Chain A
Amino acid sequence: MALKAYDKIKHAVRWWLLRRLPTCKQTVKVISESMERKLSLRERITVKLHLWICLWCVWYLEHLNLMRDTIRAKASEEVNLESSSLPPLSAEARERMKLRLSQPND
């Protein structure tokens, strides 16, 4: 019984907070900017509170960090770029460049 009342209060507090805090739409923008600049104290508090209530935005932040870490790790591996599925240099361009390099004085 006590547990049920506690859950109800928790739910009410979250609902009340979410109605007053910046929306998800506003929060994801600040989350993105947190990767670019130091947030103000007010921003940090409202984002923290929002994340306490909203799991979707928690995942959003997690995914942005995951994207950054993965891309940067991947970019530092030369070999992977070469074996990647990006297109290679076309045969025509290859020939043209070879020609230019073998006759440098043109």
Chain B
Amino acid sequence: MSEPQRTPKSQPPDFSSWVDLHGDYLYKYAIFRLRDGSAAEDCVQETFLAALKAYRGFEGRGSERTWLVGILKHKVTDHFRRVTREAPIGETEGDEFEHNEFFTRTDEWNNHWNNNYAPSDWHATPAELIERSDFWKVLNDCLSPLPERTARAFTLREVDSLTSEQICEALNITVNNLWVMLHRARLHLRNCLEINWFTKETTD
């Protein structure tokens, strides 16, 4: 009843088992980066089909999941390249996320932090934040109001640790565009995380 030790070369493995083994993982990987369910599904399906074709070259070298994630990474990048080519960046994209209200004051200190939005002491370490089970969900919810490209730039930079050059190439933007986007994303996210993680208990 035990499984055969080795699958004979003439008999390929049951590829549809990939869906149960890796489907959810790949989908979560993709949806976190794309924030669009149907685009994420497409990318996962394309990944499986590409893997099917390339399986002979893989031949069980290394982890199957790592291999599949590697393919998915390219599919996600291709998707973004396609989307950004169709919609060139507008001059004012994301201007509403400049968050001028964070720095609007009626006293002599205008353009300095407004007390209502100023950062507070989180008293937190990365280890404590990592423990939070709602980590990805909160991060995802906080990213979702941002323009797609801005959120994408942030994920590529902070989640995937790409360099500026790689991101500019993938998103078809200049490095100055990128810095503005990252700044806006950080300003917005920091505030959103503070509201969701650090002030809930104290505002009651």
Contact = CB atoms under 8 A, between A and B. Distances in A.
Contact of B161 (A25, A37, A72, A93): A72
Interface residues of B, number: 60
Contacts of A96: 45
Given A82-B28, A85-B136, A98-B19, A59 B158 contact: no
Interface in B95-120: 102-103, 111-113, 118-120
A40 B171 CA distance: 27
A86 B103 CA distance: 34
A67 interface: yes
Interface in A50-87: 54, 56-57, 59-60, 62-64, 66-75, 77-78, 80-87
Contacts of B67: none
Contact of B41 (A25, A32, A62, A89): A89
Given A56-B119, A81-B29, A70 B164 contact: no
Interface residues of A, number: 53
Given A33-B183, A86-B28, A100-B49, A74 B190 contact: no
B39 interface: no
B143 to A, nearest CB: 11
A86 B31 contact: yes
Contact of A67 (B14, B118, B189): B189
B24 interface: yes
A97 B44 contact: yes
| Main secondary structure on B side of the interface with A | helix
A78 B48 contact: no
Interface string B1-30: 000000000000011101110011111110
A101 interface: yes
A84 B141 CA distance: 13
Contact of A97 (B23, B120, B124): B23
A23 B109 CA distance: 9
Contacts of B146: none
B15 A89 contact: no
